[in-house]
Structure 1
Amino acid sequence: MLVRDWMTVNVIALGVNSSVLDAAEILREKNIRQFPVIDSAGSLVGIVSDRDIRDAMPSKFIPGDAVVESGGGLYTLTAGDIMTLDPVSVPPDAAMTEVADILVKHKVGGLPVVDRGRLEGIITQLDVLRFLCASAGSARGGAQFGIRMDGSEGALADILCDLRARGIAFNSVFTAVDPNRCGSRNAYVTIADLGDKSVEDVVELLQSKYTLLFYVAEG
């Protein structure tokens, strides 16, 4: 699936000359974590995070009039003064799995979505989680099984054929590298319909032919 299918398009963006105080107020009202910063043509020029804004604020522990005095410069401070230039961004046709990898690698909470220099939207950690839930079929429920594949060609097909042959349908299938076994991959299957079988029947089948890592009776 692509970024354009999951991104937020009604983005609250700042101009380079937007007031940091105004941005802080929007941050509180809308409960958002970052602002793309755009120029007059709508092109992305930077990003301001909630941390950038917090760092610009005077400490709440400064007593009395000292807060006003120490924060006096805030009245003229703009997004352009505190933004991160040339932020990491993704195009609308990027894969969602690529977005997840970038978020982890750069330790950020979201990415501007840019098409030919213009801001088109934003994709966040929450959007990635929504994508993963939909891909895994978790909203539809169902028993989940983790199975170690033996590395042979067609190992996943064998597992799925065994399930289908017994009238078992599934919501989703994932494979991933086993973090504890070099070169080994695991399959994660969420069952949509057990047919006339019980979870115990499926467990018995999988244990008799494969290495069953775990199962959850109802997702």
Structure 2
Amino acid sequence: MLVEEIMKEKVITLSPEDTIEAALKLLQEHHIRHIPITNDKNKVVGIVSDRDIRDASPSIFEKETIHEELKNPIYSIMTAPVTTVHPLDFVEEIASIFYEQEIACVPVTRDDMLVGIITEKDMLYTLIQLTGTHVQSSQIEIKVINKPGILPQVTQVFGKRKVNISSVLIYPYKPDPRYKIIVVRIQTMNPLSTIEDLKSEGYEVLWPKMPGIPS
């Protein structure tokens, strides 16, 4: 899946000279948490978060009605330089950027110009779609030998049963690197017959644990 498939194209921005007060109003009006800061060529030069704005804003316990801090330009608190991604980057690779850099938003640029934005909420929803948990389905976890060609061998069992596969994930089997776990989500609420097929082919099903059926 590509970034351009999940990014929001309508992005609310500010210029570096806009005030902190203007940023605060935009966050409240549009219920957003991040605002890219762009120059007159639509190039991203910084970014501010709701936390940046809160830290720069006067305390709610102060009774003063006029706060000079809010008149300061946004460039005085923005984060720069900014990590950006391209519309043709893979979403799966962008997820690692969120994790490694501990950020919650990345602007999307093409030819150095802002064309979209992705937030951690967008990433979470995409993960839900990729795993197939947004549709009614059952999950089956199969322990297999870590060797080339094992995935088509396993999915062949599902093909014979003519069940619709929503998603397939693969992760290491930590106790023994010679094995891995294939997680298959199928569109049925009764996976018993498929589990029996897998076991009859010699595969070890780790989940679900079906009463009365040996692993």
User: Which residue of 2 is the match for residue 205 of structure 1?
Assistant: 197
Q: Distance in 2 between matches of 1:34 and 1:180?
A: 41
Of 150-159 and 180-189, the range deviating more from structure 2? 180-189
Cα-to-partner distance string for 1:55-87 (whole Å, 9 max, x where unaligned): 10112234x33xx47x32322x11111111111
The two structures, once aligned, show a CA RMSD in angstroms of 2.2
**Is contact 1:178-1:186 (8 Å) kept?**
yes
Of 141-150 and 185-194, the range deviating more from structure 2? 185-194
Q: Distance in 1 between matches of 2:176 and 2:104?
A: 30
Q: Distance in 1 between matches of 2:79 and 2:195?
A: 52
Q: Assess, with a 3 A threshold, how the Cα gap between structure 1 residues 54 and 182 changes in structure 2: closer, same or farther.
A: farther
The total of aligned residue pairs comes to 209
Q: Distance in 1 between matches of 2:199 and 2:83?
A: 45
Q: Distance in 1 between matches of 2:105 and 2:162?
A: 42
Of 166-175 and 6-15, the range deviating more from structure 2? 166-175
Q: Distance in 2 between matches of 1:61 and 1:211?
A: 62
Q: Distance in 2 between matches of 1:171 and 1:193?
A: 10
**1:37 aligns to what SS in structure 2?**
strand
Structure 2 portions without partners, runs of 5+: 211-215
Q: For 2:160, which of 162, 165, 170 is the aligned residue?
A: 165
With normalisation by structure 2, the TM-score equals 0.88
Matched, 1:101 2:93: no
User: Which residue of 1 is the match for residue 111 of structure 2?
Assistant: 116
Of 43-52 and 126-135, the range deviating more from structure 2? 126-135
Q: Assess, with a 3 A threshold, how the Cα gap between structure 1 residues 48 and 136 changes in structure 2: closer, same or farther.
A: same
| Counterpart code for 2:23 | A
Q: Assess, with a 3 A threshold, how the Cα gap between structure 1 residues 144 and 84 changes in structure 2: closer, same or farther.
A: same
Q: Distance in 2 between matches of 1:20 and 1:202?
A: 59
Of 182-191 and 14-23, the range deviating more from structure 2? 182-191
Of 124-133 and 198-207, the range deviating more from structure 2? 198-207
| Counterpart code for 1:43 | K
User: Which residue of 2 is the match for residue 148 of structure 1?
Assistant: 143
| Counterpart code for 1:203 | I
Q: Distance in 2 between matches of 1:41 and 1:199?
A: 56
**Is contact 2:57-2:69 (8 Å) kept?**
no
User: Which residue of 1 is the match for residue 213 of structure 2?
Assistant: none
Q: For 2:70, which of 74, 94, 99 is the aligned residue?
A: 74
Q: Assess, with a 3 A threshold, how the Cα gap between structure 1 residues 216 and 52 changes in structure 2: closer, same or farther.
A: farther
Offset, 1:199: 1.9
Structure 1 portions without partners, runs of 5+: none
Q: Distance in 1 between matches of 2:178 and 2:99?
A: 22
With normalisation by structure 1, the TM-score equals 0.86
**Is contact 1:35-1:47 (8 Å) kept?**
yes
Q: Distance in 1 between matches of 2:159 and 2:125?
A: 28
